[in-house]
Amino acid sequence: MMRGLVLGILLSTILAGCGPPAEEPLIGAFFQASRLRDRTALQKLATTSFDPAAQGMIISFDITGVSVKEHGALTTKDVAISAPVRMMSGHVVQKRLVVTIEQRERGGWMVTAVTEVPASAPSTAPS
């Protein structure tokens, strides 16, 4: 009985570490609302948008790194992502972006900026 309990705890601990990064749901919702041009949803998630006509549409992405910065009571995270971006012309290009998220007073997070990383920049996580 004790062995089964220990095995169950070990298994749940391993599986908890295999889940998506904490930033993934917010960033996914942000790109979906931007893609749909849903201003109502965006105002709850972000102070910026990712214009599909000018910047393309992101359907999926991989988080490649997260950098946390604390400035007194303000906490921000620069989340590096790699994503296939469908342009309005129909072709798809692979882009590296940094999505900046900021923690709000009530504990929620908001996307405050999306910056494209130049192709010549190093592929490490932002610092």
List the domains of the chain with CATH numbers: 26-116 (3.10.450.50)
Residues with Cβ within 8 Å of 69's Cβ and at least 6 positions away in sequence, in order, are: 75, 76, 77, 78
- pLDDT per residue, tens digit, the chain (127 aa), is 445 444 444 444 444 455 557 899 999 999 999 999 999 999 999 999 999 999 999 999 999 999 999 988 889 999 999 999 999 999 999 999 999 999 987 778 999 999 999 877 655 555 4
Please spell the DSSP secondary structure of 11-68, one letter per residue: HHHHHHTTSPPTTHHHHHHHHHHHHTT-HHHHHHHBSS---HHHH-EES--EEEEEEE
Taking alpha carbons only, the member of 85, 80, 84 closest to residue 97 is 80
